[in-house]
Structure 1
C-alpha cells in the first residue's frame, strides 16, 4: 500500500481562510469548509479557521463549516437548483472534486478549468486530460489523429492573461484575456472540439479555429489599436483560406505518424506532425 502524510502549516491555513473569504465576497456565493470535528486533524483546523475568520470582514457572507458528507449534500442540492457553492478543501480533496463534478456534469474533465492561487501571488491554471493521455498518443502514432481536447487549456490561458492583468496592471494582457474568452465562446457555439473519429477535425483543427476566432476578436476590438492592426490581416487570411486549411489538416489522417520517440519525441518530427497545413503555417509565420 502507498501511504502519504501531509504537514499542514499555519501560514497556508491563514492564506486558505483569506482566499475563501475573498472568493465568497467576489462571487456572492456561500463558502463551505469541508471539515469533520470528529477527525483530530480537522478538529485542529476548525479551531484555526474559526479564529482566523475573525480577521476578515465576513458580514453578509455565508461561510459554513460542514462535514464532507453534509457539504456534499448541500453542494449537490444547490447544483440541482443551478446555484454555485464554493468548496473550501485541502488540495487532495480539491483534485478529486475538480474531476468528479465536471465528469458528472460534462462527461469529461477536459472542459473544466481549475485555478489554484498561490501564497506569493501567483496561480496554477489547470485542466484535465479528458481521458487517458497514453491512448491519445497511441492513436496519433497509429493513424495521425490527435483527439486531445484543448478547451480547458484555452480557458486556462485566458485566466492566466486575466491574472497577469489584475496583478500587474497590464492593459494589453486584459485585452488578450477578453478576446480569447469571446473566441472560446464562438468555439463552443460552433462545436470545434475534436470529433474523435477519422474524417473530422482533431486537436490541430481545434487550434486552427481557436486561432481564427481569436484573431477576429483581436481585429474587431477597439481597446488596443496596435493589436487590432497586427491581427486584422491574419484574421482575413485565415477566414479566406478556411476550407483549404481544414482540407490540409484532414488529408494527413489515416497514416502512421513518426514522432521520433514516445517519451522524448524528436522536436522536428513532432513539429511536422502537429503543423501539417502549409497554408496555416505560412499565415501564422507571417505575423
Structure 2
C-alpha cells in the first residue's frame, strides 16, 4: 500500500511509519518545508496548502499532526496554537484528499478522548456525547474539520487517543524518570480514570483502522479496562520497584498547570467498543504489561 502520514516525526507518527515500512509499505511523509527527499510531501496547514499531486495514488492518509496538548501552559495564545494546528491542519488535509481525481480509500485522523470531557466513573464508548471545556470543544471542532473528506465519500475515521504508554514521549515519557527516581505519586485524590494504551497497540490499532473497511467515524484507542490514577501509580511503583510516596495535591497542579490541570484531574473511563467489535486484539491490555513493553522498546 501507498500511505501518506502527517505528524511523522512525533511519538506515534514515527512509530507508525517504522511499522509500515518494516512490512514493505510505501510511506510518504508530509513536511512543513520544501520536500528534500523522495518520500516527502510539502504542506502548510496555516496556508491550507498540500502538494496534492504527490498524494496521487495513495491508498490511505493518516493525519496525526498537531501541537502537543500538554507541552505548555494553556495561555490564550497557546490555545490558539493548539486549535490552529489541529483544525486548520485537518481541514487542509481533508480538502486536499477530497479534491483528488482518485482519492484514497480511507483518511484516519487523530483525535483524543478529551472529546468526552470529565465523565467521572461512568464507562463511556464512542456513542457518548461531547463534553464541556476547552479540550472537548477543540476535539469536536477538530473532528468536524475532516467533513470534506467524508462528504467526498472517503471513509473517515477519528482515532480518539487515550494516554499512550511510552518512555519516548508524551505524558508517560515525562513520568518514567520521576517514578524511577522514587519521586512519583498520585495526582490529586487519584480517583480519576486514566484510559491508557501501549504504543505498540496504538500503532497496531491505527493499522487495523486503515485495513478494516467496515470501521468509520470515532474510534476509542484505549485499552479495554481503564484504571484510576491511584491504580496506575501503584503499577508504576510495582514495575519500576520504586516507592510512590509523593502525591501532588490538586491545588498545586492548578497553580502550576492552570486550566490544563482540570483535564489532568478529570476522569475519562473510555472503552474501545468499536475496536473490539471489529476484531482487534490487544497485545498489552494490562497496565503492568504495557509498562514493561514500554521499558523494553
TM-score by length of 1: 0.23
**Structure (1 or 2) with the greater helix fraction:** 1
Which structure carries more relative contact order (alpha carbon 8 Å, separation 6+)? 2
- Which structure has the greater CA radius of gyration? 1
